[in-house]
Every structure is written in C-alpha cells, then in structure tokens.
Amino acid sequence: MRLFKTILAIAVLGVLFNLLNNNQGSIPPLGKFLNPFAGFWQNGERQDQLEEVLDVKGLRAAVKVVWDERQVPHIFAENTYDVYFAQGFLTARHRLWQMEFQTHVAAGRVSEIIGSKAVEFDKLQRRRGLLMAAEQTINYMGGFPETQLILQAYANGVNTWIETLTPATLPLEYKLLNYEPEVWSTLKTALLLKYMAWDLTGRNSEMDLSVIRSALGEDFVNKFYPKDTPRTEPVIPSGKPWRFEPMLAEENPPAFEPQFIRDLRKAEPERDNGSNNWAVSGKKTASGFPILANDPHLGLKLPSIWYEIQLHTPDMNVYGVSLPGAPAVIIGFNENIAWGLTNAGSDVMDWFEIEFKDESYAEYLYLNEWVKSDLRKEEIVVKGGKTVQDTFAVTRFGPLVYFGDHRLDNGHPTGLAMRWSAHDPSNEMGAIRGINLAADQKTFFTALEAFAAPGQNFAFAAKDGDIAIRHNGKYPLRGQDQGKFVRAGRDTTGEWRAFIPPDQLPSISNPWSGFVSSANQNPTGKNYPYYLGWDYEDYERGSRINERLEAMNNIKMSDMQVLHMDNFNKQAQLMLPFLMSQLNQQNLSEVEVEILGDLKKWNYLSDPHEKAAWVYSQWWLHLEQAIWSDELTLFGELRELPARSVTAELLLKSKNLVYYDNINTAEKEDRRSIINIAFQNTIEVLSEELGAYGETWELGRARGTNINHLLSVKGLGRPGLPTGGGVGIVNASKKDHGPSWRMVVELGDRPTARGIYPGGQSGNPGSAYYDNAVNKWVAGQYYDIHFLSSPDVTDQPKLSMTQLRNYQ
Amino acid sequence: MISILVSLVLVFSLQLLFYSWWWIIVIPLALGFIEKDSVAKAAGGNGLGIFLLWFGMSVYQWLNGGEIIVTRVSEVMGIGSGFVLALATGIIGFLVAALAGYAGFSLRKVVIKEYQIS
C-alpha cells in the first residue's frame, strides 16, 4: 500500500510537472509563467530606470543616449558603427520579441513557435521566396561595404542586448509561448525589409481579372476595370510634359486563359494598406519655409510597427520612425530635408501558369523544350511535432507558389509562379542611409535610385525651398495591360526584359501649384509613355487633399494636422443625394424615415459620433454587392469588384443596365429597385447587428478601430477605439487599419516637427510606454518632437540619459 | 514552523540565483525525504513555505512597478484582480510543493523499510 501510494504520488508529481512546464494549447506553461522569480511577475517596469551608465561590449567609443518624456532615444555617437550598434541595442531593449517574431513570419518559421497549425502558412510563406530574396540581398550587400557595416553594427547591437537577458528579463511573449530568442543576423533585417515589400506590393488581382475576362469578356474588363478611373487627379499632374525618348515595349500577346484557377486574394495583404503624403512650398506657408506631412496607413498592432528615434553622428543628424529590426530612419527629417512615403501601387508582381513534365516539378516547358527548374528543399521545424519537408520549384518566372491537385488538359501538372521585383537583388538599406544623409533634392534623388522595392511615392521638402515628389521603384517595361492577367510561362511573352530608367520615372519638382501630394492614386496622366499598372486607389483621398491644399495659404503646421484628421467623405458627397432621390418614400418604415432624415442632415463628415456615416458606408457596400455579386461570383468565389468610382459613374449615368438585374431572382431589378433593396437590407442587417437605431450605430462605436496585439492575445490590445474617417477619406482609420504614423515637419533654420503613432515606444505590455500614445492618436493630437543638437540635457528636466560605455 | 522556514529560505535562495520554477519540486522532495516523523510537516510545511514564498514574492513584484503587467495578465487569463492572481500563484506553489513533500516522505518510508528487510 505504501509502495502504491508512493508511486502514485511521484506519478502525479510527474504529470503536474509536465503540465506546468509546457504549453497546453494556447495556455502558457503555468509553472514557468507564474513563477514570481522569472515568470510574468518580473515584466513590470519601474519608470525611474533610465538615468544609468551601462558597460557595453563591442562599442568603438562612448555613446550618449538622451531619453525624452516618451522614451524616444536620441543617440549621440562618435562614429557610424556605434550609432547603428546603439540603435540595434536600444531597439532590442524595447522591441526584441516583435523584431524576432516578424522575421519568423517573413521566413515561414511560425510553426517553430506555435506548432503544427502554422505549417500551411509557413509553406506558403517559403514558396513566396522571401527567404530566397533576403539571402540574395545579403550576398549583394557584399558589394556595398558601408551598408554591410551598418547592418552588422545593428545586428551586433541587438545581440549584445540579447546576451544581457536572463530568464526573468525575457520579454513577456517569450514566456507566453515558451521559447527563447536566437542570435540576430543581417539576414533577419533583410527578411524584415522583404516582408514589408510583400505587405505593400503583394496584392494582385491578375487571377480574378483572368477569370472575369474568361467569363464575361474582354469588353467587360476594359469598361469596368480601367487604368484611368473617373475623377482621378494623378500624383504627377497630367499637364506635365515628359522630355525623354521612351524605350519601346513589346506588343501585347494574344489573350491567355489560365486553367489553374485559385482564389489568391485570401492569402494576400490588405487592400487597405495605403497612405497620404504632401509637401507645400514656402510661398504657401506662414513661415516661408516648406512643410511636409505624411501618414502611412498600415495594419495597426501592438507593439507598434514603428519605433521613433534620433540618430546623431558628426556627419549625420536624423530623426523619424524606424522599423524595429532594421537600422536607420525610414520616414523622417534631418537638418536640411524631410521626406514621407506612400505606397506606389504600380504593378511589380506577375503570375505565370507553368507546365511541368511530371509531379517531380523538376522540368517545365519553355520555348518548346523541357527546362530544368531549381528545386528548393525546405525543412519546417514544428514545435511539439515532426519536422515537415517541403520542396518547391523555382523557374525563370520566379518560385512556384501555388501548385498541386490540378492538371492541364494534356495531363501535365501545373501551378502558378510569381515574378516579383523584390526577388531581385537591390540595396534599399543603402538607399535609406543615403536619404538619411541627404542635404538637398539632388542628393535625395540620387539616393532613391537604389530603392527598388517596394515602389513608393517619395514626397520631399528641403530647407532651401525645394519640394518634390517621385513615383520611385524598379518597374518593368510593360506593354499596355501587361501584368493585368495571368500569363502562360511558356515563352518570352510577358517576361520582364528591361526596367524603366530612374531618370524617366514620374516625378515633379516645385510645381506652380505650390504643393505636391499623393494618396496611392494613379501616378500619371495619359501622356506618360509607360504603362505601370492599373490597380490604383480611387480618387477621393487624393482629390480631397489637393482641393484643401489649393484653397490654403499662409499654412501653419496645425493646418496640416487638421488635414490629417479630415473626415470629409467625398464619395458620399457625390452619391448620397442621388441615392436618396431614388428611394421610394412611401414604402419606408418609421425607423427608415428617421434614418433618411439623418442622412439628409448629414454634412458628409465621417466623425466618430455620426450615425449617418456608418449607415451610408454600409448602404454603399450593399449596393455594390447588389449590382455585382451575381455576375462576379465565378468559380465559387466573389471576384474583384470594379472601383468605387466606376460603379458610381455607372449609377449616375446609366438608368438601364443589364447588371442591375439580379440574375438569381425571377424579378427584373432596375437601378431604382436595387438602390431601395440595398437600403432596406442595410437597415435590416444593421438593426440585427447593432440593435435599435441609436448610439450603437455611431461610426466610432459600430466600426471604430481595434488595435490588437500581434498575437491577437486578448488583454494585450486596445480594442474599441472611437475613431472616425474610413475608406476614401483622408483620415483613413478603419477597423484594424489606419494612419500608423502622423508626421508634420516644417523646415527652417532648424526643423520643427510633430508626430504620433498609435502605440508607444516600449513593446512591453507591462510598461506605461506600451500604449501611452493611443488616446492622443484617437483624438488627433500630436507630440512636439525634440530634435536635439547635443546630448547636453541639464536644462531640460523632462529628459534623462543613458551612457553606453565602451567595455572591453 | 521550522520546516516552513527551511523550505521557504532554501527555495528563495535557489530561485534568486537560478530562476527555475521546479526548485519548488526538488527542494520539497528532498526535505520530505529527510523528514523522519511527520507527514504533516513534510507535506504541509513545504506547501505552506512555498505558498508564502510565491504569494509573497508575487505581491512584492506587483507593488514594485508591476501594476500594469499584473492588470494586463489578469485580463489575459480572465482573472478578476492582481490579488486573485497572486493568490492563484501561491496556491499552485502550495499544491506542487505539498505533493512533492509528501512524495519525498513516502519515498523514504519505502526505501528505508526495504533496506531494513534486506
């Protein structure tokens, strides 16, 4: 009996140990996690720790770091190596887990952390070739010693921080998921940059457009999916003459109908990734110096995607936001210039259907011969499971991303290869370093030439008075509509053979209007000689920004802040009066009459308290669905809808159109009836979702914004923020997307700047600086930026200092 | 009382130096094994010692800059307050250490008895 009891006790103890030492599903290993000596209890943060002297191994000289009241580090170093070493060291101190997790996502290594549920994601991620591209980038860097030095200094800084960690000081998320950080490398930085490139250029409607063309014809596509959408004011004003002899692209090959049909969009980045930027010249400002503003719209998460920083060496003084995981400043300003980015939206990713000889995918048909593909073997390590082997083919048309369970009519296996500009070697890090050092327009534009992917509209303003914008990137030379549809990867048609030379890219300096701007719309008018793509943002944000900037004079920084927060809904202004005129008033219920009354009173400002703003935006979505969902549900999926402005134009101009009729009902719907049906459906759906018409229907409550933790862990995010704005609105706040960094810079003898991002400098959920800026961001407020010229902080009580001493 | 203190002080010192949570198994197991007479001392003494240590240390961390992290983790785990979370931490410590103490005590009885027979 005694023996039995003893064995039982030891067995139970063993089971308990196992339970408490390992993750149980999404539950952290409770023994480790609750351990008050090393578990989460140790992740609290006292606020008085920053006045300190640290001995740091690997620095070349002493570095002074001034912390401001928001914990922005202002790094003063004596040489280039040390400044990026310190950036790596301090960024890791605040954001290590996020940095590493993002690179695991980029590399397709999530299964290592969360187990088998991420295997399919990892496979797809590897087949996209981000790791391949990052490896090439690092090889290519060999030719650029300064870039290599910067990346290595940053990596050394990160690793020096990692070495200081103990089980107690590990960031919270490592404890939640029960793993440890690994050594940082330059490859990880390259992976992060490739991931950003994918996030900004990876969305593609080629498959959908091919399917739509097959089903509904060439005319349908040409009419409803045009490059030049109604009302668009291009980034570079249409009147600009182009004074160069353009290269000639090949004629468009005959149409090709793919047989390998997939819905690619589910795994692609959000359409909502966009941005605004503009610069106004001194002749329109109160100070006489240019002002630049930027707000990149990205997925909003905690920890935030940006990390604010100032980097100072004898030859550089730059301030702005950096990406945790990459050195230098991505968006910001220095003593002479300021710059901001918006996504270019031009087409840098093409899909090719490839014909393979057999299931080994080792040979594919090209110019009537079987050509060997490069087979890439991948090992996916799975936490708590067996390592998964995966092999995919790399062809001259890029890696084979989608394949399996489909054969061509002739019995050969097939799949889709992805040709992407970010797969080619390029030196964006060198470009960013050049931008950080740039002193005027000439040096700025020269630096941009190395920035291949992702394509961006770079807005620029300088102390010497210049303003400019350039649609920058590495863009293939294309025939008209080349890249709009999936092509056969069987011959040279559709292959990329040349790229548009940097000096022929769309750009403009010091236009007579006194300002430049971009909001992801079509970059050029019809007279630009090259075809760059077709799938750009609609006109609304760009045209609103332009009309406001045109009307303004004597501009101050605060005017730019107001424009960032501009909630005017141009699309509603265009459509709502017409839609209301089509409603059959006599059929409306009591609540519908009340709602219509509010819509009539609405001033088109999508402010957080506006019920009408939410009702209108939903009505419009229902209407789009009513028109298109019957025709465009093809192969079981609803395909890409025409642009808002195209649908709007149809509704305004065409009373009768075959597409108004829902082909799935016996009745014959016309324009008036679908507008009425959509209105009633909207009210019905919203009533069900939000209850009786009242406060819950307000935009800020019905939609608002949720800023979730990167792992979507409940309790670590900031859900339910009452934001206004929305799609097609300058303040592009959405459900989980929005202005990820609002910055306004006025150049001058010394630049003055304000900025804010929805989060905080610390990635530690136990820090007061984790989400301290969120409420101010919601309210449209800004922080005054301290652009310091020396580390001497004795007269500024809000500042404190860390000294990093070189320790051998 | 002594057994409570011994286990508390020993585990405290080891956890300060080596962090690992499983000291609350190893030490009570050993202390249980060298406890000759009382199963109450072996199980209860270790259990209470570790309860006091883990609960006390949790509360100390909570009050020393841990307010924010404790509030957030309470929400993550769906637990009402930091106090409950500290209590839960203490109770887990108690259960593990008491069981380990009991197992150690029990093991001694088996091993010593068998030794005597042979």
Give the tens place of pLDDT for each residue, A98-149. Answer: 999 999 999 999 999 999 999 999 999 999 999 999 999 999 988 999 999 9
Q: How far is A618 from chain B (nearest CA, A)?
A: 33
CB spacing of B103 vs A6 below 8 angstroms = yes
Q: Is the pLDDT of residue A808 over 70?
A: no
Chain A residues with CB under 8 Å of B25 CB are 13, 17
Q: Is the pLDDT of residue A606 over 50?
A: yes
Is B117 an 8 Å CB contact of chain A? no
CB spacing of A35 vs B64 below 8 angstroms = no
Q: How far is B36 from chain A (nearest CA, A)?
A: 15
Identify the three-state secondary structure at position A276: strand
> What is the structure's pLDDT at A746?
98
Mutation target for A interface from B11, B15, B19: give the one with most A CBs within 10 A. Answer: B19
Q: How far is A66 from chain B (nearest CA, A)?
A: 22
**pLDDT band of A404, cuts 50, 70, 90:** confident
Our CA dihedral for A484, A490, A491, A492, rounded to 10 degrees, sits at 40
CB pairs under 8 A between A and B: 123
CB spacing of A45 vs B65 below 8 angstroms = yes
Chain A residues with CB under 8 Å of B89 CB are 34, 36, 41
Chain A, window 712-751: residues with a beta carbon less than 8 angstroms from a chain B beta carbon = 713-716
Structure-block tokens of residue B103: 């197992």
Nearest residue in B to A717, CA atom: B72
Of B57, B74, B109, the CB nearest to A36: B57
Q: How far apart are CA A220 and CA A355, in angstroms?
A: 29
Using alpha carbons, list the distances in angstroms from residue A473 to A424, A439, A445, A451.
12, 21, 12, 6
> What is the structure's pLDDT at B116?
59
Q: Is the pLDDT of residue B115 over 70?
A: no
Q: How far is B4 from chain A (nearest CA, A)?
A: 18
Of A3, A20, A43, the CB nearest to B69: A43
Nearest residue in A to B56, CA atom: A36
In tens, the pLDDT along A33-46 reads 999 999 999 999 87
CB spacing of A41 vs B69 below 8 angstroms = yes
Is B76 an 8 Å CB contact of chain A? yes
CB spacing of A2 vs B72 below 8 angstroms = no
Q: What is the DSSP code (8-state) at residue A786?
A: -
CB spacing of B92 vs A34 below 8 angstroms = yes
Is B79 an 8 Å CB contact of chain A? no
Q: Is the pLDDT of residue A48 over 80?
A: no
Chain A, window 656-675: residues with a beta carbon less than 8 angstroms from a chain B beta carbon = none
Chain A residues with CB under 8 Å of B13 CB are none
CA–chain centroid gap for A695, Å, is 32
DSSP-H helix ranges across B1-118: 2-18, 23-34, 39-40, 46-63, 67-76, 82-117
Nearest residue in B to A18, CA atom: B22
Q: How far apart are CA A639 and CA A635, in angstroms?
A: 9
CB spacing of A40 vs B62 below 8 angstroms = no
Q: How far apart are CA A280 and CA A290, in angstroms?
A: 5
**pLDDT band of B118, cuts 50, 70, 90:** very low
Of A37, A46, A714, the CB nearest to B19: A37
Q: What is the DSSP code (8-state) at residue A597?
A: H
Helix axes A119-127, A80-107, angle to 10 degrees: 120
Q: How far is B41 from chain A (nearest CA, A)?
A: 16
Q: For A509, list phi and psi in degrees, rounded to 5.
A: -125, 140
User: CB neighbours (10 Å) of residue B105?
Assistant: 27
CB spacing of B113 vs A713 below 8 angstroms = no
Q: How far apart are CA A789 and CA A99, in angstroms?
A: 29
Average pLDDT over residues B2-22: 93
Q: How far apart are CA A106 and CA A97, in angstroms?
A: 14
Average pLDDT over residues A556-579: 98
> What is the structure's pLDDT at A26?
85
Q: Is the pLDDT of residue B94 over 50?
A: yes
> What is the structure's pLDDT at A47?
66
CB spacing of B102 vs A9 below 8 angstroms = yes
Q: How far apart are CA B76 and CA A684, in angstroms?
A: 35
Higher model confidence: residue A798 or residue A582?
A582
Task: State the DSSP string of A81-124.
Answer: HHHHHHHHHHHHHHHHHHHHHHHHHHHT-THHHH-GGGHHHHHH
Lowest mean pLDDT among A168-177, A215-224, B72-81: B72-81
Is B84 an 8 Å CB contact of chain A? no
Q: Is the pLDDT of residue A207 over 90?
A: yes
CB spacing of B66 vs A44 below 8 angstroms = yes
CB spacing of B66 vs A41 below 8 angstroms = yes
> What is the structure's pLDDT at A262?
87
Chain A residues with CB under 8 Å of B75 CB are 714-715
Is B111 an 8 Å CB contact of chain A? no
Task: State the DSSP string of A352-396.
Answer: EEEEBSSTT--EEEETTEEEE-EEEEEEE--TTSPPEEEEEEEET
Is B36 an 8 Å CB contact of chain A? no
Chain A residues with CB under 8 Å of B22 CB are 17, 21, 31
CB spacing of A2 vs B109 below 8 angstroms = yes
Q: How far is A257 from chain B (nearest CA, A)?
A: 50
Residue A583's Cβ-side half-sphere holds a number of Cα atoms within 13 Å equal to 23
Chain B residues with CB under 8 Å of A176 CB are 76
Residue pair A417/A127 in contact (Cβ under 8 Å)? The answer is: no
**pLDDT band of A66, cuts 50, 70, 90:** very high
CB spacing of B69 vs A9 below 8 angstroms = no
Nearest Cα neighbor of A88 from A143, A171, A138, A163 is A163
Task: Please report the sign of the dihedral spanned by the C-alpha atoms of residue A756, residue A775, residue A174, residue B18.
Answer: positive
CB spacing of B57 vs A41 below 8 angstroms = yes
In tens, the pLDDT along A631-640 reads 999 999 999 9
In tens, the pLDDT along A228-247 reads 999 999 999 999 999 999 99
Q: How far is B92 from chain A (nearest CA, A)?
A: 8
Chain A residues with CB under 8 Å of B66 CB are 41, 43-44, 766
In tens, the pLDDT along A744-775 reads 999 999 999 999 999 999 999 999 999 999 99
**Could you tell me if the ipTM is greater than 0.90?**
yes
Average pLDDT over residues A213-234: 96
Q: How far apart are CA B74 and CA B52, in angstroms?
A: 20
In tens, the pLDDT along A696-743 reads 999 999 999 999 999 999 999 999 999 999 999 999 999 999 999 999
Is A39 an 8 Å CB contact of chain B? yes
Residue A147's Cβ-side half-sphere holds a number of Cα atoms within 13 Å equal to 24
Q: Is the pLDDT of residue A457 over 80?
A: yes
Instruction: Give the rounded percent of residues in chain B with a pLDDT score beyond 70.
Output: 95
CB spacing of B65 vs A166 below 8 angstroms = no
Average pLDDT over residues A273-297: 96
Omega cis (within 30) before A454 = yes
Name the strand (E) or helix (H) holding A699: helix A699-702
**pLDDT band of A795, cuts 50, 70, 90:** low
Chain B residues with CB under 8 Å of A17 CB are 22, 25
Is B115 an 8 Å CB contact of chain A? no
Q: Is the pLDDT of residue A198 over 70?
A: yes
Structure-block tokens of residue B75: 């929400």
pTM of the model: 0.96
Nearest residue in B to A8, CA atom: B103
Using alpha carbons, list the distances in angstroms from residue A218 to A347, A437, A639, B83.
20, 49, 16, 68
Is A19 an 8 Å CB contact of chain B? no
CB spacing of A41 vs B19 below 8 angstroms = no
E strands present in A589-704: 633-634, 637-638
Residue pair A276/A546 in contact (Cβ under 8 Å)? The answer is: no
